[in-house]
A and B are shown apart, each in its own frame.
Chain A
């Protein structure tokens, strides 16, 4: 149960005096009545809670899928366009991950020594080597909302980087009979949760080892503080503190999910350098931890090809971002491969979600499972690098929309991804990369087998049979992973052989879920401690917290509906050939799912989304109007570009940040235009120069002709005006 109120217990003597005052038969009748009705109440609440959860989770994973598609699109451009064009440079730098070869050169670049700490600085001063006192000081400062000076940030990060380089890919930890180890899951920038864990459980020390299982950053607003604290403890207790890489320890993911923005916002001068150093650190984070040779701790999960020996052997730091496979195994273009970004099979993500045990309005048979086109990161070329005619045409069109140079030739130059030190990527690197992506992105599913994780766009879904096989092969007894938010902070599956631990409470919304951590002794039996940061939500009854979270989810959902309104109206009209303006509820549900592709139970949600449905029919135009979302800048005449912008809010922001190579937070009008060109190419849409110019003119440009990314994104954030809000 959630955070129910703790009513005072009835004192024992009072109980003795209370007896049942009515005849037994009447009492029994009353009891049954109340019990039945209470259970109905609970069941209805539970259903609402599940719907709400589905909404948040679907939107979350759809966002991840979106991100990966965008990144794939860039990769596509990179692979097939001439290096000569200057526009390519707009994005090529995110793939050019290792401009400088040698660590010595990097050390010089990251050197903190010339950075002066002014006398006016009133944050903490650190001395090195790091000590327990130093980390404590840091924690106290963060509690007081102070910010650490960039000099010290770079110093900590530099030391961390040096340490991580000597750690193996897999941490091996022994828990002897006098110690217990603590394992924490996703924190996602929520400093209150980390502090709460330390408060309840004690700080890391020689007697108190910890494993932090990835996803320290993004979404929450204190990602950097969390990192600094964790790295601080790592430096002080390198044998007791173990960090695993998560899928968010990846600079490309950070572009979208807030960590990049956080760092640049807090460190305007040195942010870029800090981010670059973090890129290296992330790539050097170990991939897994094994406790007593029996318990495997990894952020995402496994696949049917997981081979810990291969994982132990590889050069893990080669894979700075795991969003994209090394060039050797990138999909070449033929009719139905990922790179061409063909129209999604409408049942693809939906089928994926059925794997995840969610209900849908479609009733596709399990047999269809095999027909899902494989669109994930796992796509390997089926052989032959010939580009056929239609694909060449598509390439031309893409280039034209992106404003790239029209002429092109085969890309013969060295792949800009690879570090010259490593040489050309090979088949082995492809396999290694796949191992990592599965470790960091996969989710368990209830059915046997192993299929690509279409919903997130990376990693796979693995079944109980794969768990048995992989654990058996490596002589392990338990897999502990994170990556998925759980209402109670933890959840077993696969006959209790897989345990999910998630440490960010209130992840979707205040009151949405508890966080938890694991204590485990020599006997390797996990014990759970659950918590929920923030006093307010602990005092909410279950019903209140369900209601609160539900309102928040519905707001998010209404926004999604609003940004897709043109598509929705189009889909509704397909069911309304006579233009009556109304359609049946059934058609409404089908059309909405077809457009949004979130796999949500629309019929169950209907009472929350539609005010009036007369005789089972919906006036869809009116419904859309009643979504009551306001566009803050209605004076832009071209409404289709506005809708594109709302729909691609996050993609737009990601592209802005990529283009903003000096991380100033400002882009020029020309860069603004280029962003739109890139986006239009990704979406395969025409966006006229005039529309872009109009949009730009509706903004306040700074005097030097540039716009602030943050301001722009804020100005076009949707505002929910509905009375339900």
Chain B
């Protein structure tokens, strides 16, 4: 079957930087923490929601065993409107090896508590957060950021994106000076 496009479990460490302060990032602490106990998670979805999720889950089942691979979990959650980092998902799965990510599979009933955990997590971001996130790069305060700078940030920091992904993200967004109007950018992306 065609290989999935999503990235595998990323490196956990953030890039080294001169800043002394710890990053106030929402991502959970690096590995060594035990896996989250999913059996204790209370499912609060309505029957309708569960049916919705079950159907979406089925769309990602490419084998026909009513399960999906570990490395698809993050994408299914994203397709359902959540946006966990890969690190968060990895933690939910008990920090599996890359092999586990590709080969281990989970059925829908196992997936639900994972989804619930992510939904319950305080790690939410809305339109304003994203705009703020980009505003820091707006050196002139004129509503635009430099495409080039964004590319470097996205390809070298955090859960790195590759060139193809960045190209696709920026497609049609840079003006002739290589600048991006970030509010419009965020609106555009969030309207999928």
Contacts and interface: CB of A to CB of B under 8 A. Distances in A.
A28 B82 contact: no
B48 A616 contact: yes
Nearest to A541: B171
A54 B160 CA distance: 32
A73 to B, nearest CB: 31
B5 interface: yes
Given A24-B18, A361-B55, A446-B63, 11 more contacts: A25-B25, A33-B129, A36-B125, A38-B189, A41-B190, A44-B81, A46-B5, A357-B1, A446-B1, A488-B2, A601-B59
A608 to B, nearest CB: 13
Interface string B129-148: 11001101101000000101
Interface string B151-192: 111100111110011011111101000100000000001101
A542 interface: yes
B37 interface: no
Contacts of A311: none
A363 B66 CA distance: 9
Contact of B149 (A5, A21, A602, A603): A21
A158 to B, nearest CB: 43
Interface in B1-43: 1-2, 5-6, 14-15, 17-19, 21-27
B137 A50 contact: no
A361 B59 CA distance: 10
A35 B160 CA distance: 8
A25 B17 contact: yes
A29 B24 contact: yes
A380 interface: no
B104 interface: no
A38 B165 contact: yes
Contact of B59 (A51, A541, A543): A51
B153 A27 contact: yes
Contact of B51 (A33, A39, A586): A586
B17 A355 contact: no
Given A39-B83, A46-B75, A27 B57 contact: no
A30 B19 contact: no
A1 interface: yes
22 contacts: A10-B178, A18-B146, A19-B152, A28-B157, A31-B157, A32-B158, A33-B125, A33-B129, A34-B133, A37-B130, A39-B74, A40-B82, A41-B169, A41-B190, A42-B5, A43-B75, A44-B81, A446-B1, A446-B63, A493-B1, A589-B51, A601-B56
B115 to A, nearest CB: 13
A493 B1 CA distance: 5
A446 B59 contact: no
Nearest to A359: B58
A237 to B, nearest CB: 34
Contact of B23 (A25, A360, A491): A25
B21 to A, nearest CB: 6
A46 B64 contact: no
Contacts of B59: 47, 50-51, 54, 358-359, 601, 604
Nearest to B6: A39
Nearest to B150: A34
A487 interface: yes
B76 interface: yes
B161 A24 contact: no
Contact of B130 (A6, A20, A24, A33): A33
A585 interface: yes
Contacts of A25: 17, 19, 21-25
Interface in B90-117: none
Nearest to A38: B169
- A interface, how many residues as a size bin? 35 or more
Interface residues of B, number: 78
Contact of B167 (A4, A40, A446): A4
B52 interface: yes
Contact of A4 (B76, B83, B164, B178): B164
Q: Which 4 A-B pairs have the closest CB atoms?
A: A359-B58, A24-B17, A31-B158, A43-B78
B148 A30 contact: no
Given A18-B149, A37-B83, A601-B59, A543 B192 contact: yes
Interface of B: 1-2, 5-6, 14-15, 17-19, 21-27, 47-48, 51-52, 54-65, 74-79, 81-86, 125, 129-130, 133-134, 136-137, 139, 146, 148-154, 157-161, 164-165, 167-172, 174, 178, 189-190, 192
A211 interface: no
Contacts of B154: 31, 34-35, 38
A253 B18 CA distance: 69
A21 B19 contact: no
A447 B153 CA distance: 43
A616 B46 CA distance: 11
B55 A602 contact: yes
A26 interface: yes
A311 to B, nearest CB: 28
B137 A22 contact: yes
Interface in A462-514: 486-488, 491-493
A357 B1 CA distance: 11
B134 to A, nearest CB: 7
B188 to A, nearest CB: 9
A357 B62 contact: yes
Contacts of B139: 21
Contact of A41 (B2, B56, B189): B189
B27 A32 contact: yes
B175 to A, nearest CB: 12
A690 interface: no
A146 to B, nearest CB: 40
A359 B79 contact: no
A45 interface: yes
A27 B157 contact: yes
A675 to B, nearest CB: 40
B72 to A, nearest CB: 9
A129 interface: no
A50 B1 CA distance: 14
Contacts of A488: 2
A14 B148 contact: yes
Contacts of A492: 1-2
A37 B171 CA distance: 16
Nearest to A493: B1
Interface in A599-613: 601-604
Nearest to B186: A37
B15 A360 contact: no
A589 to B, nearest CB: 7
A423 interface: no
A35 B159 contact: yes
Contact of B48 (A354, A586, A601): A586
Nearest to B52: A603
A10 B151 CA distance: 10
Given A37-B189, A446-B63, A586-B47, A32 B78 contact: no
A70 interface: no
**Which of B58, B82, B134, B160 lies at the interface centre, i.e. has the most chain A CB atoms within 10 A of its CB?**
B58
A23 interface: yes
A511 to B, nearest CB: 14
Contacts of A19: 149, 152
Given A46-B75, A355-B64, A491 B52 contact: no
Contacts of A23: 17, 19
A8 to B, nearest CB: 9
A445 interface: yes
